[in-house]
Amino acid sequence: MSAQQDAAAREPLEIFADALEQSHWQCFAGRAALMDWIDDQFLRLARLDAPDQMAGPMINSAYLFWQAETAGLSDNQDMKEK
């Protein structure tokens, strides 16, 4: 993939990251971590063959959970052990 193609593919992820941070505050882990996390989320949903219309809401919910964990607000013991 050329640098131009890579930038074009990254643009929708940047827009999605902007929307998440605008709706739910800036990512506690930083922008680079957020971009990697979003990329991983879309790849995970693709592997699960999740319906396209569910990707946004699923990532939105996962972002809130991730931020709560990062802030130490989660009481999910299974996730704390990992």
C-alpha–C-alpha distance, residues 26 and 67, integer Å: 9
pLDDT at 63: 97
pTM for the structure as a whole? 0.80
Please state the domain count of the chain: 1
Task: Establish if 51 belongs to a structural domain.
Answer: yes
Q: What is the DSSP letter of 27?
A: -
78 confidence band (pLDDT: 50, 70, 90): low
**Does residue 77 carry a pLDDT above 80?**
no
Q: What is the pLDDT of residue 74?
A: 72
Tell me whether residue 17 is in a domain: no
The phi and psi torsions of 80 (rounded to 5 degrees) equal -70, -30
49: alpha, beta or left? (left if phi > 0; alpha if psi -120 to 50): left
The confidence score (pLDDT) of residue 76 equals 67
Whether 26 maps to a domain, the answer reads no
The 10s digit of each residue's pLDDT in 15-74 is: 999 999 999 999 999 999 999 999 999 999 999 999 989 999 999 999 999 999 998 887
In terms of Cα–Cα distance, which of 82, 81, 80, 45 is closest to 60? 45
Give the residue numbers spanning the domain of 37.
33-73
